[in-house]
């Protein structure tokens, strides 16, 4: 059965998947953005319900927004979120792995289940910006997005062929978490608006594999249903398909019954887009779908008749006040609570989510939003944000910096604009300018959204430990802000207060026991005191917690070097620079160690990369040393 009018309830990865797995709306499960929220461990997910029924449960996910730290692993026996090699976490890209890798892992797990019933969630991240389809799909389609769609189809084929060839029937649900705007209404990707381009999703429910019915030739024919279907309907559908009771209180319904597939109407559906409010301070967006009528509540309200205006080009709000009131009342009937308090994310998590709007801003919630805060009025700024990201990734730092400066001129209250500007300045080696930008934000009263924490961290890392300690010591930033605690620990360490630094990092571990950042910093403290055994243990724990931590591998290299194991040091540093080409300390150590060992040819590419890319503001002396070394050799 293919449902050709199916919708999500959110236009972002994490909240949308939470709705799929729990069968509840975002305001019910509580996850309203890609960061700052957690699904509780006892959440009643599809995996938890089927595990109780004796099913083996496995999840294989392709991208960091679904990392187990966010709680979607509730009920899964196996939750494979190891992304392996990724780009540097300091870049504006998301750690992900290709669909082919995810599918291979899922097939291997399924084949090992034997006769036990199983439930598997296979998540693929393509198509998703930035669009980089693999060969041959990169040349077969004029639009890269279409190439990623085709690549995903091809990657899923072996999995579906396995199930189709099985002797046991298997229920398969295929859907998307959201769509992609591709320029619709001026939006480039997703997350800002909730027009059909990003809210409408594919939804297919099928039974594959052979059984007695298929052998008798009485298998039901394929169907296309035009009845509205929703993500909250997926969990009840799955449970009914396998003969399990559907928990009371779920807002969705099973799509298997004839009535559900063919009746003229369907229950109204709630949707939202909260990212712009939470991260940028813009107006929140909520809405309701009632049949083919769609109402969007923002400061400039919108209503569309999707039966006659699928492109949502004519705003009907105000033309029929009675219908406007009915739809607005239908939205209020959901009694949707506003987003609750967000949890602070550490810098590693925030960096991995910093991709085309996947940023943590913690903008202040306003008592009232005006038309000036309506996302429609701010679409040009959204486009500039994306351009700033693209320019940074392309290495065109000056142009990226100019864009963020211009955004601040237009919206001087946007904390995330100051943070982006400071980040690009810092990453390009202009540390003093980065600090000055954040100081200017604080002076202008923009102290929310992590601005103070970022300023304190930059001060600590650039040598002004006293000022950093003043900014980052609670209650200035609170005692649960992971970045603030980490920055405070760094400031203590830089000022020679090792015991205070250790207490800060250990406190961070009490909040997040798996924090690779805290473990790595504790290892660095151990190194300073020549406690190599403890340092090695800390760095190994960090790698176990986060296999993509370049900093942890760099620390293991230093431990190995100090312990006289040159080969192990070189191996660890190579892994560090593979994971993060911007880990200049590891790059320096690797190149100079190889050169001193007489391996000049092997050392040269690393040394040349260091000279070419290390920020002079931080590494001027080292660059001169390496330049001289290269000239002599």
Could you tell me the CA-to-CA distances from 369 to 64, 177, 283, 372, 569 in Å, in that order? 32, 28, 6, 8, 55
Length of the chain, in residues: 633
Q: Mean pLDDT over residues 73-88, rounded?
A: 74
Residue 104 has pLDDT above 90, yes or no: yes
The answer to whether 268 and 45 are in contact (CB under 8 A) is no
Per-residue burial over 390-410, b if 16 or more Cβ lie within 10 Å, else e, is bbbbeeebeebbebbeebbee
136 Cβ partners below 8 Å, 6+ apart?
none
Distance CA 137, CA 68 (A): 31
- Cα-Cα end-to-end distance for the chain: 68
Q: Mean pLDDT over residues 264-289, rounded?
A: 91
Q: Mean pLDDT over residues 364-380, rounded?
A: 92
Distance CA 271, CA 79 (A): 28
| Model confidence band, residue 514 (pLDDT cutoffs 50, 70, 90) | confident
Distance CA 354, CA 89 (A): 9
Residue 486, pLDDT score: 85
Q: Mean pLDDT over residues 347-351, rounded?
A: 59
| Model confidence band, residue 581 (pLDDT cutoffs 50, 70, 90) | confident
Instruction: Rank 338-347, 400-409, 443-452 by mean pLDDT and report only the highest.
Output: 400-409
Q: Mean pLDDT over residues 103-112, rounded?
A: 96
Residue 210, pLDDT score: 74
Residue 90, pLDDT score: 36
Task: Tell me the two tokens of residue 12.
Answer: 């972002």
Quote the strand ranges of 383-521, DSSP E.
none
Residue 338, pLDDT score: 86
470 Cβ partners below 8 Å, 6+ apart?
476
Residue 578 has pLDDT above 50, yes or no: yes
In terms of pLDDT, which residue wins out, 52 or 360?
A: 52
Residue 408 has pLDDT above 60, yes or no: yes
In terms of pLDDT, which residue wins out, 170 or 258?
A: 170
The answer to whether 289 and 228 are in contact (CB under 8 A) is yes
Q: Mean pLDDT over residues 240-245, rounded?
A: 94
Mean residue pLDDT of the chain comes to 89
The answer to whether 238 and 46 are in contact (CB under 8 A) is yes
Strands 293-297 and 170-175: unpaired
- Over residues 477-493, the pLDDT tens digits come to 556 677 788 889 989 99
- Over residues 295-336, the pLDDT tens digits come to 999 999 999 999 999 999 999 999 999 999 999 999 999 999
DSSP secondary structure code for residue 305 in this structure: E
**Global pTM value:** 0.79
Residue 259, pLDDT score: 66
- Over residues 143-159, the pLDDT tens digits come to 999 999 999 999 999 99
- The residue among 336, 246, 239 whose CA lies nearest residue 297 is 336
Residue 450, pLDDT score: 81
Residue 552 has pLDDT above 80, yes or no: yes
Residue 256 has pLDDT above 70, yes or no: yes
Distance CA 620, CA 536 (A): 30
Distance CA 295, CA 305 (A): 9
- The residue among 81, 19, 13, 25 whose CA lies nearest residue 45 is 19
CB 181: neighbour CB atoms within 10 A?
20
Residue 351 has pLDDT above 90, yes or no: no
- The residue among 278, 279, 323, 275 whose CA lies nearest residue 301 is 323
Residue 501, pLDDT score: 93
Residue 479, pLDDT score: 61
């Amino acid at each position: 059965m293919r449902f050709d009018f199916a919708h999500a309830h959110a236009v972002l990865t994490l909240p949308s998947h939470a709705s799929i797995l729990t069968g509840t709306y975002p305001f019910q499960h509580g996850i309203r953005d890609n960061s700052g929220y957690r699904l509780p461990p006892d959440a009643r997910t599809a995996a938890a319900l089927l595990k109780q029924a004796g099913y083996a449960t496995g999840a294989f996910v392709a991208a960091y927004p679904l990392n187990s730290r966010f709680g979607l692993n509730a009920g899964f026996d196996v939750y494979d979120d190891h992304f392996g090699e990724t780009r540097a976490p300091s870049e504006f890209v998301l750690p992900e792995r290709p669909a082919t890798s995810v599918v291979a892992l899922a097939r291997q797990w399924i084949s090992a289940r034997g006769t036990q019933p199983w439930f598997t969630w296979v998540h693929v991240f393509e198509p998703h910006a930035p669009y980089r389809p693999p060969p041959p799909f990169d040349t077969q389609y004029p639009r890269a997005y279409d190439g990623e769609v085709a690549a995903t189809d091809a990657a899923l084929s072996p999995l579906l062929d396995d199930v189709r060839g099985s002797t046991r029937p298997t229920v398969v649900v295929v859907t998307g978490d959201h769509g992609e705007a591709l320029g619709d209404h001026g939006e480039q990707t997703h997350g800002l608006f909730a027009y059909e381009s990003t809210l409408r999703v594919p939804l297919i429910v099928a039974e594959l594999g052979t059984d007695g019915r298929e052998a008798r030739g009485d298998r039901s024919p394929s169907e296309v249903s035009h009845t509205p279907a929703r993500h909250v309907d997926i969990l009840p559908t799955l449970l009914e398909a396998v003969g399990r009771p559907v928990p009371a209180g779920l807002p969705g319904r099973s799509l298997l019954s004839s009535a559900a597939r063919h009746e003229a109407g369907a229950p109204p559906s709630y949707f939202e887009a909260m990212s712009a409010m939470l991260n940028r301070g813009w107006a929140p967006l909520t809405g309701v779908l009632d049949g083919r009528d769609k109402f969007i509540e923002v400061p400039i309200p919108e209503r569309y008749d999707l039966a006659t205006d699928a492109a949502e080009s004519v705003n009907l709000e105000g033309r029929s006040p009675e219908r406007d009131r009915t739809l607005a009342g239908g939205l209020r009937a959901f009694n949707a609570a506003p987003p609750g308090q967000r949890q602070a994310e550490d810098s590693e998590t925030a960096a991995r989510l910093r991709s085309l709007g996947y940023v943590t801003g913690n903008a202040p919630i306003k008592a009232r939003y005006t038309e000036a805060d309506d996302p429609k009025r701010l679409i040009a700024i959204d486009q500039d944000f994306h351009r700033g990201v693209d320019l940074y990734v392309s290495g065109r730092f000056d142009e990226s910096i100019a864009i963020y400066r211009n955004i601040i001129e237009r919206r001087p209250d946007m904390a995330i604009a100051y943070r982006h500007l400071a980040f690009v300045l810092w990453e390009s080696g202009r540390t003093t300018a980065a600090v000055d930008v954040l100081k200017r934000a604080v002076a202008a009263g923009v102290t929310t959204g992590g601005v103070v924490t970022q300023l304190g961290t930059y001060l600590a890392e650039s040598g002004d430990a006293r000022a950093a300690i003043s900014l980052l010591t609670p209650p200035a930033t609170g005692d649960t802000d992971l970045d603030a605690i980490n920055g405070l620990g760094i400031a203590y360490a830089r000022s020679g207060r090792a015991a205070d630094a250790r207490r800060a990092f250990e406190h961070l571990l009490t909040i997040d026991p798996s924090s690779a950042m805290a473990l790595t910093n504790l290892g660095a403290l151990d190194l300073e005191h020549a406690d190599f055994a403890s340092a090695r243990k800390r760095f190994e724990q960090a790698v176990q917690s986060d296999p993509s931590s370049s900093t942890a591998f760099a620390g293991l290299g230093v431990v190995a070097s100090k312990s006289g194991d040159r080969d192990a040091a070189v191996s660890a540093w190579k892994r560090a620079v593979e994971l993060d080409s911007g880990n200049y300390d590891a790059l320096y150590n690797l190149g100079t160690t190889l050169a001193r060992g007489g391996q000049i040819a092997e050392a040269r590419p690393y040394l040349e990369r260091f000279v070419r890319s290390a920020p002079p503001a931080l590494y001027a002396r080292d660059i001169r040393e390496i330049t001289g070394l290269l000239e002599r050799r």
